Amino acid sequence: MGWLGQDQLTFGARRREEWHTQPWRAIPHNLLFLGASSFWCRLPLPSTGELSLGRNTTTSPEHDRVTPIKDSLSFARETCRQGDMNARSYLTAMLILTTASLPACAPLTNPAMRPELSSTQAPDAGVLPSPVPDPVRTKRMVELGGTDRRAAEAALNAVLETRDDHFVPVLIEMLRAAQIGIPVEIDYSTMVMAIEDISGQSLGDNWPAWVEWYGTTDIEPPPGFTGWKGRLLSFIDPRFADFLNDESSSRIRVEEIVWGGVRVDAIPALDNPKMIIASDADYLLAEEPVFGVALNGHARAYPLRILDWHEMANDVVGGVPVSLAYCTLCGAAIAYDTRASDGSAYTFGSSGFLFRSNKLMYDRQTRTLWNQLTGEPVVGRLAASGIRLALLPVVLTSWKDWRDQHPDTLVLSPETGYERYYLPGAAYGDYFASGDTMFPVWQRSKQLGDKDRIYALRVDGTPKAYPLALLVEEGVVNDTVGGTNVVLVAARGRVTVNGSSIRAGSVTYDAGGEVRAFLSGAEMFSAGASADELLDARGGIWRVTEEGLLSPEGEVVAPRLSGHLAYWFGWFAFFPHTLVYGVPAEP
H/E stretch holding 300 reads strand 298-303
Residue 131 pLDDT class (50, 70, 90 cuts): confident
How far is C-alpha 436 from the chain's CA centre? 13
Q: Residue 343: its pLDDT value, please?
A: 85
Measured between alpha carbons, how far is 306 from 465 in angstroms, rounded to an integer? 27
DSSP per-residue letters across 240-293: HHHHS-TT--BSS-GGGEEE-SS-TTSSPPEES--EEEGGG-TTS-TTSEEEEE
Q: What is the pLDDT of residues 313-340, one digit of tens each?
A: 999 999 999 999 999 999 999 999 999 8
Q: How large is the average pLDDT for residues 78-95?
A: 36
SS3 content of the chain, % helix, strand, coil (to 5): 30, 25, 45
Neighbours of 213 (CB within 10 A): 18
Euclidean distance between CA atoms 38 and 103, whole angstroms: 8
Region 173-177: mean pLDDT is 97
pLDDT band at 129 (very low <50, low <70, confident <90, very high): low
Can you give the pLDDT at residue 208?
Answer: 96
What are the distances in angstroms from CA 151 to CA 113, 122, 126, 188? 19, 19, 28, 16
Q: Which of 27-36, 143-152, 431-440 has the lowest mean pLDDT?
A: 27-36
Mean per-residue pLDDT, 98-106:
33
Tell me, what's the pLDDT at 585? 79
Q: What is the pLDDT of residue 126?
A: 47
37-46, 361-370, 548-557, 568-577: range with lowest mean pLDDT: 37-46
Q: Quick one: angle between helices 6-21 and 207-215, nearest 10?
A: 100
Q: Is 261 left (phi over 0), alpha (psi -120 to 50) or beta?
A: left
Mean pLDDT value across residues 172-190: 95
Q: Is 478 exposed, middle or buried (CB count within 10 Å of its CB: 0-12, 13-18, 19+)?
A: middle
Which tens digit of pLDDT belongs to each residue from 393-433?
999 999 999 999 999 999 999 999 999 999 999 999 999 99
Closest Cα partner for 526 from 538, 534, 517, 516?
534
Q: Say if residue 559's pLDDT is above 90.
A: yes
pLDDT tens digits along 29-48: 222 233 333 222 222 222 22
Contact 338, 346 (CB under 8 A): yes
Confidence label for 259 from pLDDT (cuts 50, 70 and 90): very high
- Tell me if 13 sits within 8 A of 33, measured CB to CB: no
Mean pLDDT, rounded, for 288-297: 97
pLDDT at 128: 53
How many Å apart are CA 358 and CA 375, to the nearest integer? 12
Residue 482's alpha-carbon distances to 42, 461, 464, 538, 578, in angstroms, are 52, 7, 9, 26, 11
Average pLDDT over the chain reads 82
**Mean pLDDT calculated for residue range 114-139:** 61
Residues in the chain, total: 587
Residue 50 scores a pLDDT above 80:
no
Give CA–CA dist 249/252, Å, rounded.
9
Question: Could you tell me which of 328, 418, 329 has the C-alpha nearest to residue 24?
Answer: 418
Type and span of the H or E element at 317: strand 312-317
Of residues 381 and 5, the one with the higher pLDDT is 381
Contact call for residues 78 and 31 (beta carbons, < 8 A):
no
What is the average per-residue pLDDT within 578-587?
88
Q: What is the mean pLDDT of residues 440-465?
A: 96
Say if residue 506's pLDDT is above 50.
Answer: yes
Contacts 24+ apart (CB under 8 A), 99-104: 101/37, 101/38, 101/39, 101/69, 102/38, 102/69, 103/37, 103/183, 103/235, 104/35, 104/36, 104/37, 104/38, 104/181, 104/182, 104/183, 104/235
